[in-house]
Amino acid sequence: MTTERAFVEVPGHFDGDPLVPGAALLAWVQEALPGLVGVRRVRFTAPLRPGEPARLTLTPRGDDVEFVVEGPHGVCAWGVAQVQAGGCGRDPRRGHRPGCGLGLGVEPGGALRAPAQR
């Protein structure tokens, strides 16, 4: 699943050289994964400035979901999100329940684009 967004400036982060906080990027991941229970790994690799477009891509990997946040300067953050243990207990061929975090509603490689939020 892929969504797009533009973040607004956060006062004080950082004056004269504003950046989107990593916590805002992780909140975006959390918003996209209702069954999120933790983040196993995260790396912040490039700056993202307020107003720049960003894209979040989620890819299911077993009971985990890999996430990648890309901006105009490349990958800004990537990691592995832990979703509800064991998924929802359903056979994946029949589809996951939405609350388990794996019921993303879009097959891997599919895309969902949301309007930029300001």
SS3 78: strand
Sheet of 53-61: strand order equals 2-6, 53-61, 64-71, 74-83, 36-44
Per-residue pLDDT at 36 exceeds 70? yes
| Within a domain: 61 | yes
pTM of the complete model: 0.71
Which CATH number fits the domain that encloses residue 26? Answer: 3.10.129.10
Q: Which domain holds residue 41?
A: 2-100
Q: Is residue 76, in this structure, part of any structural domain at all? A: yes
pLDDT: is 87 or 53 the higher one? Answer: 53
* More confident call, 117 vs 52: 52
Give the pLDDT band (50/70/90) at residue 28.
very high
Please count the structural domains in the chain.
1
